[in-house]
Chain A
Amino acid sequence: MSSKTIEIIVTPNGQTRVETKGFAGSECRDASRFIESALGQQTDEVLKAEFHQTTSQQQQVRQGE
């Protein structure tokens, strides 16, 4: 059982970087959206390796059914 956290780094000039950790499926986007929309305009988004791994594993399960 891993914990789900949202990590926010606020730089000395007030810009922010939001990173989700420990979420399954697509819920990480929903989980952190309230913080992202409260802070301002999104300028960049990167999907981490975990995202692609999770997706391909799910596809394999479906293909095996």
Chain B
Amino acid sequence: MSHIVQIQTEVRDLVAVRAACERLKLPSPVIGSHRLYQGTVIGLGVELPGWRYRVVCDLVNGQLRYDNFGGRWGEQVHLDRFLQGYAVERTKIEARKKGHTVTEQSLEDGSVKLTVNVGGGV
């Protein structure tokens, strides 16, 4: 049988966050306390281009904390690209752990298609 699943991405893996930053040529993520407009939060801080404050990943619950003031302190597109890079890298890492080969292809609409080859027929 076959099935299709839609997934809401959660950021939980340090190695994949590092890989996403390398992929997007961003500075290495920093673990620690990060200042946002209101207060500080602890987590893995990612510096996005033109963003006033870092995006802070809580790897325990998979959620992101950030303050871009509706786009005025940082464009949403950079956060979207980071999430896409993270999902791509996390998939590749997990597939390789299982010994599968992965091929990556960029699609015209900006999506990335990954094909994980699980092996031959039954």
Contact = CB atoms under 8 A, between A and B. Distances in A.
Given A10-B84, A12-B80, A12-B81, A44 B115 contact: no
B7 interface: yes
Dominant SS at the A interface? Answer: mixed
Q: Which of A9, A10, A32, A39 has the most CB of B within 10 A?
A: A10
Nearest to A4: B118
A11 B109 CA distance: 8
Contact of B5 (A14, A21, A44): A44
A20 B9 contact: no
Interface residues of A, number: 48
A24 B1 CA distance: 5
Contacts of A6: 95, 115-116, 118
A28 B120 contact: no
Q: Which of B62, B87, B91, B98 has the most CB of A within 10 A?
A: B87
Nearest to A12: B110
Dominant SS at the B interface? Answer: mixed
Interface of A: 1-26, 28-29, 31-32, 34-36, 38-48, 50-51, 54-55
A62 to B, nearest CB: 16
B122 to A, nearest CB: 5
Q: Which of A3, A14, A41 has the most CB of B within 10 A?
A: A14
A22 B116 CA distance: 12
Given A14-B84, A15-B6, A31-B118, 8 more contacts: A9-B112, A10-B91, A10-B112, A18-B7, A19-B2, A19-B3, A32-B5, A36-B7
B54 interface: no
A39 B4 contact: no
A8 B117 CA distance: 11
